[in-house]
Amino acid sequence: MIGILRPHWAAINYLDIVKHGSLVELAVLMLLGLVSAGSWALITMKAMQLRRARSQSLSFLDAFWKATRLDAIYQACQQLEASPLSKVFRAGYEELSRLAQQKEAREGAMSERLGGIENVERALNRASTSELTELEAKVSFLGTVGAAAPFVGLFGTVMGILNAFNEIAEKGNATLATVAAPVGNALFATAAGLFAAIPAVVAYNSFVSRIRVFDTEMANFSSDFLNIVKRHFFK
């Protein structure tokens, strides 16, 4: 009977790798395992955050362009806490409300009105910067893992090969059978480094691209909101 073919990775004896690995190799593998687990946890968390932000931002934009009153949009924003655009609008609206409360009964001077516009613009810029910082939080960790993990794995491999050749030199037996196993075990560290790095790099590039879209959308929305405020409140 023809046996069932097994993938090469399924034939690896991981227990032997741990049993015969040096302290440096084991430390490298443990570090890469922890980093990989942390990367996947961060990838899951950040993907959910960006998905919620995208969904709620679309809902906010739909409500914003359909509404006829800013206070109605402000009330709707209370249910869209995950949307960066919603928070930018709230910052601008609250600054505009503060200026309206301070405004005297008579029309202010032109310099005062221009100062009011600048206050609203600064509030929008501060909110945009704050939201961008929140979206980018911890994403740099994925970039660091993607850049460093292969080298950490390579370090473990080099140390493993050095230890293997030192043992061979001491025993004076350099046959293929004695060389293959320790060298193969040492190469496992490089594979572990790539296993940790590849998902981190893919996720990092994806998240950076999506965050850049949010940055552009916040800048465009701030410009649109300022134009509306100028036309209706600072004539």
Q: State pLDDT tens for residues 209-235.
A: 999 999 999 999 999 999 988 887 665
pLDDT score of 157 more than 70: yes
pLDDT score of 55 more than 70: yes
Residue 113 has a CB neighbour count (10 Å cut-off) of 17
Compute the distance between CA of residue 183 and CA of residue 179 in angstroms, rounded to an integer. Answer: 6
Cα angle 76, 231, 79; round to 5: 10
Q: What contacts 24+ positions apart, CB below 8 Å, involve 42-45?
A: 42/138, 42/141, 42/142, 43/142, 43/199, 43/200, 43/203
Compute the distance between CA of residue 74 and CA of residue 97 in angstroms, rounded to an integer. Answer: 11
DSSP codes, 155-171: HHHHHHHHHHHHHHHHH
Please report the sign of the dihedral spanned by the C-alpha atoms of residue 25, residue 26, residue 32, residue 33: positive
For residue 139, with 0-12 CB atoms within 10 Å meaning exposed, 13-18 middle and 19 or more buried, which class applies? middle
pLDDT tens-digit map of 3-32: 444 555 445 555 666 666 677 788 888 999
* Domain spans, the chain: 20-233
pLDDT score of 103 more than 80: no
Compute the distance between CA of residue 150 and CA of residue 201 in angstroms, rounded to an integer. Answer: 11
Closest-CA residue to 139 (of 203, 217, 51): 203
Among 60-74, 193-207, 212-226, where is mean pLDDT lowest? 60-74
Contact between residue 226 and residue 89 where contact means Cβ atoms under 8 Å apart: no
Q: And the tokens for 25?
A: 């190799």
Judged by DSSP in three states, 35 sits in helix
Mean pLDDT of the chain: 83
Contact between residue 89 and residue 221 where contact means Cβ atoms under 8 Å apart: yes
